[in-house]
Structure 1
Amino acid sequence: MASRSATLFLFLPCILIITFASTSNAYSLEGYPKKVVMNVIDSCRRWKSDWATNRQALADCAVGFGKGAVGGKYGTIYVVTSSADDPVNPKPGTLRYGVIQTEALWVIFAKDMVIQLKNELIMNSYKTIDGRGVKVEIANGPCITIQDVSHVIIHGIGIHDCKPGKAGRVRSNTTHVGLRGGSDGDAIAVFASSNIWIDHCFLARCFDGLIDVIHASTAITISNNYFSQHDKVMLLGHNDEFTSDKVMKVTVIFNRFGEGLIERMPRVRFGYAHVANNRYDEWKMYAIGGSADPTILSEGNYFVAPNNPNAKEVTKREVKNGWKNWKWRSSGDVFLNGAYFVPSGYGSCAPNYFKAQSFIAASGAMVPALTASAGPLQCVVWNAC
């Protein structure tokens, strides 16, 4: 029987560079119709009413390993006017036409739309998809692939009910159409890419995973998203033999893991995951798991265990033996309804962020307020979101 974290942690010292504070990552803003509490990412821009005329300032707001993602910050605005899709010869005004361009672009939408892609959407480097101000959904078809690129931001859209892609030709940039074997049916699949930020999205009910980060991808922040109604939520690391994933560094912060979730929030292999200030409303099997000796710091999270007496443990190692030296730690987490975390390993488990990436995790008790706006924001022009 696994022991409670409070007992084991006494014997498992962890040197943290990021200090723990009760309100250091929470901001109360009085300029709203009612007083609201915002996390450090949201407080960077949400209180400003000029968001629609200064969209690219959002790129300055990430924290954690994906802080450096600039997306289309230094490019021009591209407006999606049509929900149509052609995987081989996309037309101007469509989403696919924008994201395959060579130059940096900040992609926005002229109106509400549901985009049913005919095959996987392969993004090029230095692109932002920004759904603020409208309701945009990618649904009921193949979804987003981020492969062998860098500096991608996806913000403020719904991605759900994704299906596997078909084998066939798909354009990945303005000069290349490749023969694809068919995507797995993930909402967002990140392969061999870096400087990626996924923020304020809604993700649910896909054929495979909601977010996969594999094949030596790194420098990634996954923040302020709402996940629901899914089995295998978030995979960080390809498989137990793919040692190149040791370079992977991912920050998972301010997300709400909502109703109908089963496992992998996240599941980690080889690399490093800083999982901080997330709200876990439900899991059927476990919340945080992994294999192949990953390092995981769970800091200031809010775990509400299911009523099932056999699913109270937050953690799951996907091996029977040999995991006691893996560095898995809990610091300042809140455990409710019998939830508990089984730590392991010795030595430092600090994320060692560069100064610009760093943040101070808030108290786990603050998480319900900090994650209250997880998912796409309802933004109105000339009003703060």
Structure 2
Amino acid sequence: MAATLLFLFVFLSLYGSASCRLLQTPLLDHATTDPIDATQLPTSVEASPAQVQEVANVSRRELGYYTTSCETGNPIDDCWRCNANWESNRKKLAECAIGFGRDAVGGRDGEYYIVTDASDDDPVSPKPGTLRHAVIQSEPLWIIFDSDMNIVLKEELLMNSYKTIDGRGHEVHISHGPCITVQFVSNIIIHGIHVHDCKPAGNAMVRSSPTHYGYRTISDGDGISLFGARDVWVDHVSFARCTDGLFDAIMGSTAITVSNSFFTQHDKVMLLSHSDDYMADKTMQATIAFNHFGEGLVQRMPRCRHGFFEIVNNDYTHWEMYAIGGSADPTINSRGNRYTAPTNPFAKDVTMRMDTPESQWQSWDWHSEGDLFVNGAFFIPSGAGASSNYGKAASIGPKSSSLVGTMTANAGVLMCKAGSPC
């Protein structure tokens, strides 16, 4: 008995702090993919920084204790990450999408293509083995990498339909040049890569398929840019420091999910829809879920127009102007997020209506349900409250905002190793 008590004393002395944190993490159920019944959600909550499980500004990279448990309640990750044989069953990932981009199959029905060459010498006649050669092919392909790579593109990477870029198992960067463009194509999955320091390029010929290349004008310098695209899922991508947006979806793009990604060190983070006058974006539906919007961000997380946008279980730990903005009467459905306001007393408002008098935006359907507000953050709702528009801006059931830290602890690129769970 004495030996047992001694063991317990030593164990708790050494591991007590971390163990208590783990034991306090509740067992979570898988989220439903059925439309949410707002009456079942808790009302929005105010909290101080002392009432949340960790300091809101702490980097996700410092929250490793959350990874000890395989299942976290994040429905995407719990679908595939616990399998130690993920490398031999990579395409399982295609079954795990949620939200409006859930039908994106990427290259699930095609062969694997292994990128062996990080160069991008000729955007018109790319070499076999390069990422550009892989993404322009006509057939479905699941694209993986044979080693760590830093790919500096010479021109925009124009993707063809039914492609998956899967960086798991290696550290893959697309950076310091133009980055990824998804234009007039569908069924794209981008997972597990770093996208940062993207720059404009153009006034050049670029190939988009085995049978077509054409002249490209100067690009904006976005990280990932969608233009007339649909059925797109971006998951576990780390974004930072691009010339224009980190992620933009415009010109009639729809059926989009951005999930489990990490955004940092940027001004205009995410644009959803083209302009106030572009009516084709009225049908846009996008899901923004389980992301971490981190240090050094200013605005547009996202900035929306016209369409229907669900913003679910994200962790906002920094903004300098506002978090969620919009114009042209978008429907915004914010549920189960954690919003931690900056110290700036003039930037506590999560929301921003651009260039619109209150007499007009009062009718816009902007809704907050079950959100957690920290350090004086607040959300200004508007609209009818029970509008049928929310049915077009709801495709998944959120978890409690109190669990956001757990579910987003591994946002961004995962450090996956063959033979063990990611």
* Cα distance per residue 1:331-380 (max 9 Å; x no partner): 00000000000000012343448xxx943200111101100000011111
AA in 1 matched with 2:299:
E
Match of 1:59 among 94, 98, 105: 94
Rounded Cα–Cα distance in structure 2 between residues aligned with 1:324 and 1:251? 23
Question: SS in structure 2 opposite 1:172?
Answer: strand
Partner of 2:382: 344
Question: SS in structure 2 opposite 1:251?
Answer: strand
Partner of 1:297: 333
Match of 2:416 among 376, 379, 383: 379
AA in 2 matched with 1:348:
S
Rounded Cα–Cα distance in structure 1 between residues aligned with 2:40 and 2:209? 44
* Cα distance per residue 1:89-110 (max 9 Å; x no partner): 1000000000000000000000
Rounded Cα–Cα distance in structure 1 between residues aligned with 2:336 and 2:402? 8
AA in 1 matched with 2:330:
P
Q: Which runs of 5+ in 1 are unaligned?
A: 1-14, 23-31
AA in 2 matched with 1:67:
R
Rounded Cα–Cα distance in structure 2 between residues aligned with 1:82 and 1:350? 46
Mapped pair 1:199 → 2:235: yes
Identity of aligned residues (%): 54
Partner of 1:364: 401
Partner of 1:275: 311
Contact 1:16–1:350 under 8 Å retained in 2:
no
Aligned structure 1 segments of 4 or more residues deviating by more than 3 angstroms: 15-22, 32-36
Give the alignment of 1:53-202 within 5 angstroms: 53-85=88-120, 86-202=122-238
Mapped pair 1:42 → 2:77: yes
How many Å apart are 1:165 and its aligned residue?
1.4
Rounded Cα–Cα distance in structure 2 between residues aligned with 1:295 and 1:251? 12
How many Å apart are 1:17 and its aligned residue?
3.4
AA in 2 matched with 1:382:
G
Contact 2:175–2:197 under 8 Å retained in 1:
yes
Rounded Cα–Cα distance in structure 1 between residues aligned with 2:38 and 2:191? 26
Rounded Cα–Cα distance in structure 2 between residues aligned with 1:373 and 1:21? 25
Partner of 2:345: 309
Structure 1 pair 105–227 and aligned structure 2 pair: CA distance change class (3 A): same
AA in 2 matched with 1:360:
G
Question: SS in structure 2 opposite 1:196?
Answer: strand
Rounded Cα–Cα distance in structure 1 between residues aligned with 2:85 and 2:255? 29
TM-score, with structure 1 as normaliser = 0.91
Question: SS in structure 1 opposite 2:109?
Answer: coil
Deviates more, 1:49-58 or 1:103-112: 49-58
AA in 2 matched with 1:188:
I
The structure number with the bigger radius of gyration is 2
Rounded Cα–Cα distance in structure 2 between residues aligned with 1:64 and 1:20? 19
Contact 2:268–2:300 under 8 Å retained in 1:
yes
Rounded Cα–Cα distance in structure 1 between residues aligned with 2:71 and 2:164? 27
Rounded Cα–Cα distance in structure 1 between residues aligned with 2:170 and 2:202? 29
How many Å apart are 1:50 and its aligned residue?
1.4
Rounded Cα–Cα distance in structure 2 between residues aligned with 1:228 and 1:92? 33
Rounded Cα–Cα distance in structure 2 between residues aligned with 1:110 and 1:315? 43
Rounded Cα–Cα distance in structure 2 between residues aligned with 1:20 and 1:60? 27
Contact 2:327–2:356 under 8 Å retained in 1:
no
* Cα distance per residue 1:272-293 (max 9 Å; x no partner): 1100000000000000000000
Partner of 2:49: none
How many Å apart are 1:36 and its aligned residue?
5.5
Match of 1:331 among 361, 365, 369: 369
Q: Which runs of 5+ in 2 are unaligned?
A: 1-34, 43-66
Question: SS in structure 2 opposite 1:41?
Answer: helix
RMSD: 1.6
Structure 1 pair 344–105 and aligned structure 2 pair: CA distance change class (3 A): same
Question: SS in structure 2 opposite 1:283?
Answer: coil
Contact 1:313–1:340 under 8 Å retained in 2:
yes
| Higher fraction of helix | 2
Contact 1:17–1:351 under 8 Å retained in 2:
no
Question: SS in structure 1 opposite 2:187?
Answer: strand
Contact 2:222–2:243 under 8 Å retained in 1:
yes
Partner of 1:227: 263
Equivalenced residue count is: 359
Contact 1:47–1:384 under 8 Å retained in 2:
yes
Give the alignment of 1:210-289 within 5 angstroms: 210-289=246-325
TM-score, with structure 2 as normaliser = 0.83
